[in-house]
Amino acid sequence: MKVLIALAIMSVFPPEQRAMWVVANTFRDSAEVRKMVEFAHKNGIKIIFAQIARSGYAYYDSDILPRSEALKVPEPYDPLAHLLSLTKPLGIQVHAWINAVAWWSVESPPESSNHIYYTHPEWFVVDDDGRSMHSYSRQDIRNAGTEARFLDPMIPEVRKFIASIYIEVARKYDVDGVHFDFIRYPGPKFGYADWERQFYESQHGLDPMFISDAAKIYTPKWNIMRSKDLYERWMTYHYLRWNWYRRQAVTEIVKMVHDSIKSFKPNVIISAAVFPNPASTAFARGQDWRTWVEQGYVDWVCPMAYTPYPKLFERYTQYAMGVKTGKVKVFMGIGIWFKNAEYYGRQELEIAEKYGADGVVLFSYNVFHDNPELATKLFARRKKRVYIGRFGIHAY
């Protein structure tokens, strides 16, 4: 027997724990920026991850990157400065979202002669067929299962260049944080420039070009070194060693940004959008975000747990909360573009709250732009019946 004792008004995550990603197309026009900020304020979203650098172009006043040709408003319009002028009076945080090493994705080449595509073609990562992504077509990018042409984090000049963009934004603007995206390799079959292969062979006695595809693609079993297949063990050993260098290179960028920005603006939040499974993304993409959390190189981590299946989202949330340590906060990323987002999205919000996530980030504002009522459905306060029963108090 159970007895109804109350009707509780339940909501998920207070405004200071709600965030959304806002992609660069919103910043092309000052009126659209104002509309977006008004939407965030109305719906209690207190954190904006604003994409102000993508595809090698800036949506802010940069001395490093060329100004985006997509901006509809001519200079002196500065999208980031305009955004900050609107958000500061409302107490809305702005985190500068910057695509790290994904550098160009469309078929036609960039228009600006100052783009990295022209000034440093040698910086693009090389695949395990010896081909630079600089020469990839759009179809080649799709065939590789990735999103863009990537730069090579193993090149020291690339690491310094990427870090300098984040540092520039933190110096020039009163942002609340800087946000990494695409801080990784495109996959396990990239990072095979001649000099990288020669270095590895000089250290370990094998040209990594000869590491088997199976070793690159399949995460090794926990007991791989007990396998009777000597070749399998040998290949797996070399891929893990090879990937260690890739992981170190990516991590070095994050560390450089952290150490530099914290030296002059210690309160700026360093965050990263990451793949939700820390083991598989470190193995396949060199994105070792478990180490970033453990070493304190990031203040927040935002696992991109994009799925319309709440059970899978729950698994991703468990992964993230298992890595969480110290003062590092976890903001679970929820993709709201799938069908029936008002149903699965609400469930995922509740799952994130149940497991103790520090907040949620919704991808993306573009969905809200076309369907503003969705935010009300996701964050609406709901009645829950609270019962006292044989085994204690329960809410339904």
Task: Say if residue 104's pLDDT is above 70.
Answer: yes
Give the other-Cβ count within 10 Å of 75's Cβ: 8
How far is 6 from 19, CA to CA, in rounded Å? 31
CB contact at 8 A, 211 and 131: no
Output 395 or 236, whichever has higher pLDDT.
236
- Which helix (H) or strand (E) covers residue 331, if one does? strand 329-335
CB contact at 8 A, 350 and 324: no
What pLDDT does residue 226 have? 59
What pLDDT does residue 12 have? 78
User: Which of 383, 307, 372 has its CA nearest to residue 345?
Assistant: 307
CA separation (Å) from 238 to 204, 215, 330?
A: 8, 9, 33
CA separation (Å) from 266 to 49, 105, 171, 177?
A: 19, 34, 12, 10
Evaluate the CA torsion angle 12, 17, 18, 20 in order and state its sign. negative
- Residue 221 confidence class, pLDDT cut points 50, 70, 90: low
CA separation (Å) from 169 to 255, 257, 268, 282, 393?
A: 16, 11, 11, 27, 50
Task: Say if residue 364's pLDDT is above 60.
Answer: yes
What pLDDT does residue 94 have? 99
At residue 139, φ and ψ (nearest 5 deg) are -70, -35
Output 96 or 394, whichever has higher pLDDT.
96
All structural domains of the chain: 18-195+218-230+247-382 (3.20.20.80)
Tens-place pLDDT, residues 243-269: 999 999 999 999 999 999 999 999 999
Residue type, 4: L
DSSP lists the bridge partners of residue 8 as 384
What pLDDT does residue 348 have? 98
Over residues 87-95, the mean pLDDT reads 99
How far is 36 from 87, CA to CA, in rounded Å? 10
CA angle 184, 294, 276 (to 5 degrees): 45
